[in-house]
Amino acid sequence: ETSVTLYGILDGGIGYNKVDGTVVNRTTGVRTDYSAKKTGMINGVQSGNRWGLKGSEDLGNGLRAVFQLESGFDLGTGNSAQGGRLFGRQATLGLAGDSWGQLDVGRQTNIASKYLPGVADPFGAGFGQANIGTSFSAANTMRWDNLVMYQTPNFSGFQFGVGYSFNVSGNQGWDIDRPGLVNNPDEANGKGITTGLRYANGPIGVAATYDRIEFDADDAKFTQWNLGASYDFEVVKAMVAFGQTRDGWFQGTDFGPAVNAGGVADTSTGTFRSLDGLKVNSYLVGLTAPIGNGKLLASWQMADPSNSPDGALGEFEKQHTYSLGYTYALSKRTNVYAIGSYAKNVVFQDDLDSTLVGVGLRHQF
């Protein structure tokens, strides 16, 4: 009586993380020696752990009702991921038409996270710091709340999408007017625009995306545009990407535990973070190469801060990430993987490195 599909991915293994060097407090300029390491169970490295429900109902005349509810969790502890959200990975309802596309409301990833990694990331937006999102923060599997999203159908390989979020993270705050009001909740709403285009035809893949988040408080506004392209030579598939970020950071990467408890977390790039004056150019060159039942994955990424945020102290250096991975299919739904990734000058700190080594098992149901 119901057309719902129950699905999921489980991913767990063993790994080693190390973040090492010195950290500069961007407010005081003081340098501190820093080392953090961990050997243990890893999970969600290739793909975040999830279970979900999705469905589609044919309404006639090429029209369909579509929905997807996807719940993320930590396999090590069983806790919900995405800040404790029940359906933190996706919660959408929409109408889809063969001729005009699909319109969804709810929480889901932005266009850059949908279109760019599929074209330009050998690691398919997975594998921790190896994923393209480490340098291209708007493509870092960023999810927005309260999002209205429209995407065209695929026209001869072309697809276009555009979305607007009334508040990218959390319930939309009211616009309040009353005497003595200190902070208007509406000014804390992160209003997001996401748009982009992708093209996939034969060996060629191309993606172009643009994202902007605006907070009325402090007139904060930050943007990112990205370009990606790939060509499949069959023995190897080559990928390149370039992007520019201005005045903030979208979906951040946490390289290690925070240095300054309750203060600036100088080992994280931060999420939905306005950083006036920051300019970053991002680059990626990567490849995948099929080898029997396996696939080799490799990329070099760089995030180059050509201008530092206003008032931030210390040097802002180029962050490089070198990654090598291997996946081997045990079946269509199950594979093992190995990953090694080294990043230097992480969070643009001139003497801070991050290393990730791991092996794991991934199963899709």
Q: Smallest distance, Å, CB 188 to a second copy?
A: 12
Question: What's the min distance (Å) between Cβ of 219 and a second copy?
Answer: 21
Count how many residues are written for the chain: 365
Using alpha carbons only, give the angle 283, 288, 294 rounded to the nearest 5 degrees. 150
Cβ closest to a second copy, residue 232 vs residue 254:
254
Q: How far is the CB of 238 from a second copy (least distance, A)?
A: 32
Closest approach, Cβ 312 to a second copy, in A, equals 21
Q: Are 80 and 27 in contact (CB under 8 A)?
A: no
Report the nearest approach of a second copy to the CB of residue 37 (Å): 5
Q: Which is nearer to a second copy, 185 or 197 (CB)?
A: 185
Beta-bridge partner residues of 228: 207, 241
Task: Pick between residue 14 and residue 217 the one whose CB is nearest to a second copy.
Answer: 14
> Based on CB atoms, which residue is closest to a second copy, 107 or 237?
107
Q: Are 117 and 286 in contact (CB under 8 A)?
A: no
- Dist. CA 356–CA 340, nearest whole Å: 6
Q: Indicate the residue among 21 and 287 with the shorter CB distance to a second copy.
A: 21
Minimum CB distance to a second copy smaller for 45 or for 130: 45
Smaller CB separation from a second copy, 156 or 331: 331
Dihedral-angle region of residue 110 (phi above 0 means left; psi in -120 to 50 means alpha; beta otherwise): beta
Q: Kindly tell me the burial class for residue 207, based on how many C-beta atoms sit within 10 Å of its own C-beta (0-12, 13-18, 19 or more).
A: buried
- Min dist CB 28 to a second copy, Å, is 14
**Smallest separation (angstroms) from a second copy to the CB of 16:** 11
55 vs 318, beta carbon nearer a second copy: 55
Q: Which two tokens stand for residue 203?
A: 């060996």
CA angle 82, 84, 89 (to 5 degrees): 35
Q: Which two tokens stand for residue 294?
A: 């396996």
The strand ranges marked E within 73-111 are 90-97, 101-109
The CB-of-143 to a second copy minimum distance in angstroms stands at 8
Q: Which residue has the tokens 């003595």?
A: 180
- Which single residue is written with the structure tokens 């199950």? 334
C-alpha 167/C-alpha 103 separation (Å) is 18
CA distance 44 to 76: 9
